[in-house]
Chain A
Amino acid sequence: MKNVRKITSSKTFPPLVALFGILLFNVFLNPGFLTITIVEGHFFGQLIDILNRAVPIMILGIGMTLVIATGGTDLSCGALLALSGAVAVSLIRGKSTILNPETETPFIIVILATLAVASLCGLWNGFLVAKIGIQPIVATLILMTAGRGIAQLITGARNLTTGYPPFSVIGQGWFLMFPVPVFIAAGVFLLVWFLVRKTAFGLFVEAVGINASAARYSGINATLVIMTVYMISGFCAGVAGLIYASNIMCADATNAGLNFELDAILAVVLGGTSMMGGRIYLGGTVIGALIIMALTKSIYAFDVAPESALVVKAAAVVMVVLIQSPLFQNFRGRVRACLPFGRRAGEGA
């Protein structure tokens, strides 16, 4: 009984319920929804597809969780995703003008340079927010617009394509029967989770997000903490950018990751992290990203006319957010308190 209460009172419980609700709804309308088949030694099915497609939002969301926990926002991560793709593909192509199955730059350098550029862009955001004191929305708005502009400069405003096979593995490959992006997302998650829960970083981020002044009085270098979280968000955008570009084998400066920053913010909020800053819920963010992708998937699966898809999605988001709102939680608490087998009775046990 006690364990059940512990689970249901966890911040990650409501989004989990929402996710299961959406999946259940799908099963109800399409009994084959949960079927997973093995084709050519890989898992195939709707669930795998949702997981795979949620990866970019998930990775952006993981970085965004830390930023939001400090009370900030990073609007630039979608644009940085596009910029990273542009950097990677242009490095692979080098000066060659034809679709080349070779790379002009050593592959490891391509990866490292892309991640370095994205991290530096994140650091710039952090510098504007923490050192200069610009409001996060405004500060990151700069790279949100400029990032895509720089990406277009790099690609020459064309869709740069590449035919280098190893690059395709990042976004399209398979490993142990699962898509490679899922492993990359798991890697990023573990890395950040380690930083947050196994070092003092999480405590510092949460302290700064809840009360920056008190954190400073306690000897925490709030400026450094804030700059670091924006840098991590930039790094995450770099990873997501590699996956995205690899998936289409192309650097699309205008459309890659368009509005992804908003989905990432939504994933974080759905996951339970407060926009006011404070507690970090990394697992919640992952579930949030899955909710968004499951919603999108269901809308396509049920032949919602494309012109009404966004409205339907918005309506579904409103419902999910309502379920998580304090108003509804209070209501739930009151209902439970009235039931004979509810909270009150449970407390005695």
Chain B
Amino acid sequence: MEDPAALLQASKIEKSFPGVHALKKVDFTLRKGEVHSLMGENGAGKSTLIKCLTGVYGIDGGDIYFQGQSIRPTSPQHAARLGISSVYQEVNLCPNLSVAENIFVGREPMKGPFVRWKAMEKSAGEILSRFDIHIDVRRSLDSYSIAIQQMIAIARAINVSAQVLILDEPTSSLDKTEVGKLFEIVRRLKSEGMGIIFITHFLDQVYEISDRITVLRNGELVGEYKAKGLSKIALVTKMVGKDYDELTSVSRVESGGDNEVVISLEEVSARHSIENVSLELRRSEVVGFAGLLGSGRTEAANVMFGLEHNSSGTVRLKGTAVRLASPAEAIRRRIALCPEDRKRDGIIGELSIRENIILALQARYGLFKYIKKKQQNEMAGKYIELLGIATPDSEKKAGELSGGNQQKLILARWLATEPEVMLLDEPTRGIDVGAKAEIMKLTLDLCRQGMAIAFISSELDEVVRMSNKVIIMRDRAKTGEIAEKDLNQDAILRAIAGGDAS
């Protein structure tokens, strides 16, 4: 597949990490003078692909062509010398150095052993004026706003006579006018013939700036599309995917709809997290949470678990207003949360399975009511059997389990505390289909036993299949609720995309 207009072409890229097949024969083509968005949910392989293109990771298979020549970047510096520059989400500059120094660090204009400061400052000023930024380049970087710093990062990147510019979530810390300014620059660079790869979670921005969109899912290429011909709803569908087949045996628990309310939020806001959210979780009901990443679905669960504190509104537990100051407090009140990032917030890898299982219960018991070794072994044995955790014995390190078994282990930790509310944040992410079905069935069993369950998932078919009600989140707010009778993937997609049903 040789494209004459191709500037950067990746073909059949393969990349594996221990336990994860991150990229499976992924193709990607960037043409001269286009803005190409790379889309996909977390873990889809966007960042991995970028890191392969810029030499952060070596590739296991496939080829990378740059202007028709096969290349193998060995480091970001090497990629930059070839003409592929990248700007990451966090500004990667030195806040204590001057603006000019930041732009030229590592390649200062020299005269013998001396830096030509005047020349450096002059050309720094020229470069920035190209972006319509007129600032004192001798002042330190941190004296300017994040937006300006972002622009300076871009200026630094393209100053290395770049032909390909990769922008990874450049707008997440910018406000609307700043985004506008950034896009102006992007358009100018595009008209100069540069190819730009753009990664963001904001759908509107994708449509505002992109010519083409490539969608990845679970490390595989879904397809490459022209932005004009792809509706938002179609894009979201492709990102989220749908593998219905394996999970057909799972279906929701019937609910009368008037079960006791266990926990409720009333117009709750929390700083940088959710705004004015009201919702109810009832006994023996699964409430699904749908929305894109950063929409506030995780944050809503965090508020109910005491990880984030409401600045206004009321959290009620069985009708009584409560203040959940910490997870410890939430656990005492029989609330449990399986966190989204299992590795970071869930598993304690060096501890044994047994210790991981008793941990939350022990934390509730406190220091001195130490669970006897015999009881620990009994509990571990019981949950290993109940949840079907695949392990030779309970003394194996938790970190050595597979993803699905780790998820079951965290569930076991919570079941041991006998919770009344179970908040599941992406419980099926990154685990194989069989384990997914098991986790879902287990969740429904718990629901039948009377637990109130929040089910947060990017897998819409799971949400549809499991939930008695779905709450739609967008931009940190609750934008709608879909009742059981109206529940289907289309309705959810429509609601997530924000009424754009074209």
Q: Which residues of A contact B (CB under 8 A)?
A: 198-201, 203-204, 206-207, 210-211, 213-221, 278-279
Contacts and interface: CB of A to CB of B under 8 A. Distances in A.
A304 B448 CA distance: 76
B363 A211 contact: no
B417 to A, nearest CB: 8
B344 A214 contact: yes
B346 A210 contact: no
Interface in B294-346: 307, 326-328, 330-332, 337, 339, 344-346
B370 A219 contact: no
B339 A220 contact: no
**Chain A binding site: helix, strand, loop or mixed by DSSP?**
helix
B363 A220 contact: yes
Interface string B357-396: 0011011111111110000000000000000000000000
A203 B371 CA distance: 11
Given A206-B351, A220-B359, A214 B370 contact: no
9 contacts: A200-B363, A200-B367, A200-B368, A201-B367, A214-B347, A215-B348, A218-B363, A218-B413, A278-B350
A216 B337 CA distance: 12
A221 B326 contact: yes
Contact of B348 (A200, A210, A219, A221): A210
B109 interface: no
B370 A200 contact: yes
A41 B331 CA distance: 59
3 closest A-B pairs by beta carbon, nearest first, are A219-B363, A219-B331, A219-B328
Contacts of B307: 217
Given A206-B350, A216-B327, A219-B330, 9 more contacts: A201-B367, A204-B362, A206-B355, A213-B344, A213-B345, A215-B348, A218-B348, A218-B413, A278-B350
B349 interface: yes
A200 B366 CA distance: 7
B360 A207 contact: no
Contacts of A215: 348, 359
Given A200-B362, A200-B367, A220 B328 contact: yes
Nearest to A274: B350
Contact of A207 (B351, B369, B370): B351
A199 B370 contact: yes
Contact of B349 (A201, A211, A213, A217): A211
A199 B368 contact: yes
Contacts of B365: 200
A207 B348 contact: yes
B348 A214 contact: yes
Contacts of B351: 203, 206-207, 210
Contacts, number: 77
Contacts of B359: 203, 207, 215, 218, 220
B349 A203 contact: no
B344 A218 contact: no
A289 B413 CA distance: 38
Contacts of B346: 214, 217
A279 B355 CA distance: 12
Contacts of A211: 344, 347-349
B258 to A, nearest CB: 32
Nearest to B332: A219
Interface string B125-156: 00000000000000000000000000000000
Interface string B421-462: 000000000000000000000000000000000000000000
A219 B349 CA distance: 17
B367 A217 contact: no
A206 B356 CA distance: 11
A206 B358 CA distance: 14
B255 to A, nearest CB: 29
A201 B370 CA distance: 9
Nearest to A217: B345
A246 B327 CA distance: 47
Most buried by B among A213, A219, A221: A219
B328 A199 contact: no
Contacts of B327: 216-219
A224 to B, nearest CB: 10
B74 to A, nearest CB: 26
B350 A214 contact: no
A214 B351 CA distance: 12
A219 B365 CA distance: 10
Contact of A221 (B328, B330, B355): B328
A276 to B, nearest CB: 9
A318 to B, nearest CB: 27
Given A207-B359, A219-B327, A199 B367 contact: yes
A200 B326 CA distance: 20
Most buried by A among B344, B350, B365, B413: B350
A218 B339 CA distance: 10
A218 B351 CA distance: 14
A279 B307 CA distance: 27
Nearest to A276: B350
Given A200-B362, A200-B365, A279 B350 contact: yes
Contacts of B326: 216, 219, 221
A203 B327 CA distance: 18
A279 B350 CA distance: 8
A198 B337 CA distance: 28
A28 to B, nearest CB: 39
B4 to A, nearest CB: 50
Contacts of B345: 213-214, 217
A278 to B, nearest CB: 5
Contact of B362 (A198, A203, A216, A279): A203
Nearest to B417: A219
B419 to A, nearest CB: 11
A201 B367 CA distance: 6
Contacts of A200: 362-363, 365-371
A211 to B, nearest CB: 5
Nearest to B360: A218
A284 to B, nearest CB: 16
Nearest to A215: B348
Nearest to A202: B370
A198 B346 CA distance: 25
A281 to B, nearest CB: 13
Contacts of B347: 211, 214
A219 B367 contact: no
A198 B371 CA distance: 9
A329 B328 CA distance: 40
Given A199-B370, A220-B328, A278-B350, A204 B344 contact: no
Contacts of A217: 307, 327, 337, 339, 345-346
Most buried by B among A204, A217, A279: A217
Contacts of A214: 344-348
B355 A203 contact: yes
B493 to A, nearest CB: 31
B328 A210 contact: no
A11 to B, nearest CB: 12
Contacts of B355: 203, 206-207
Contacts of A220: 328, 359, 363
A220 B362 CA distance: 9
A53 B371 CA distance: 38
A215 B345 CA distance: 8
Contacts of B339: 217
